[in-house]
Structures are given as C-alpha cells and as structure tokens.
Amino acid sequence: MKTSEIINLGIGLEIHFCLDAADTNAQFTMFKVVIHPNAKVPAAHYHENFDETIYGLKGSLTLIVDDQIITLGPGDYQFINRGSVHNLINQTDEIVEILAFANPGIFTANYFKDLLGVLKVGGPPDKAKLNSIMLQYGLIPVSS
C-alpha cells in the first residue's frame, strides 16, 4: 500500500496526496484536505480543465459553488463542474477533513508544492505569485 505524501502549507491546511497522475494514468488525482479552524484557504476560483468532487470525511465544511452555500458533513459529497466558481471555508472550531477527486488527473501535488514555496518565504504571501501558480495549474482566481 502506498502512503500519502503530506504537504503542510503552514496556514491551517494540510494536503495528504493519495493518488497522483502517475498513479492513475492521468485519469484522476485524489487527496485528503485537512482544514483547521481559521485556515487560510484559496481564493474563490474555477477550474479550466478538470472537474472536482469533494467528499466529507470529518466535521462541517461550508462550500460555496456558483453563489450557492452548501454545508458538507461526513458522507456528503458535491460534484463541481469545471467552470463553476467555488471556495470553501471552515467556519467551525473543529478540524474538517475532506477527500477531493480531480478528473482528469492533471491537477497534481506539484501545485501544492509550488504554493508551499511561496508561503515558506515568511511574511504576508505574495498574492501575485500565488495567483500566477493558480493560473499555471488551471485554477482561475475570481475577485469577489
């Protein structure tokens, strides 16, 4: 059994990459996201070239998809079509865990590793660099 690669972004988010593109012949990627209370989460965005499914494992997550507010608990799931604007928020005092599937498998662990490179610099993160990384991986940030 393969063990997950854990990428701790240091902002209240941990990514446990389970299956990357190389593991699935680029059919899909799968990763667990651990979201601590008050975590800094990615800006509202949409995916240009892949769909995403979120499955609740632990806690209660607020998911906003195309202006619809959804509460995702353990056993709940939400399919997010490419092009749908979405973001997620942990509004509780508990750790939330979700499992995410991206299809096709073009969204890889390298995205989170590149983010970590910007976040490890210290001080407030460079938003232009974060946006550039998002765009490089097909995540299109949306201004609120």
Q: What is the pLDDT of residues 15-25, one digit of tens each?
A: 999 999 999 99
Give the global pTM: 0.92
Q: How many other CB atoms are there within 10 angstroms of residue 87's CB atom?
A: 17
Phi and psi at residue 135, to the nearest 5°? -65, -40
**Helices 127-136 and 109-119, packing angle to 10 deg:** 170
Q: What mean pLDDT do residues 39-64 have?
A: 94
> How far is Cα 117 from Cα 103, in angstroms, rounded to an integer?
25
pLDDT tops 80 at residue 109: yes
Q: What is the pLDDT of residue 1?
A: 57
pLDDT tops 80 at residue 86: yes
Rg from Cα positions in the chain? 14
- Contact residues for 64 (Cβ-Cβ < 8 A; gap 6+): 44, 70, 86, 87, 88, 89
Q: Which two tokens stand for residue 7?
A: 């990428």
What confidence tier does 51 reach under pLDDT thresholds 50, 70, 90? very high
Q: For residue 121, give the nearest of 6, 10, 7 by alpha carbon.
A: 10
For the CA atoms of 126, 129, 133, 138, what is the dihedral angle to 10 degrees?
Answer: 100
pLDDT tops 60 at residue 122: yes
Q: What mean pLDDT do residues 51-72 have?
A: 97
Cβ pair 13, 35 in contact under 8 A: yes
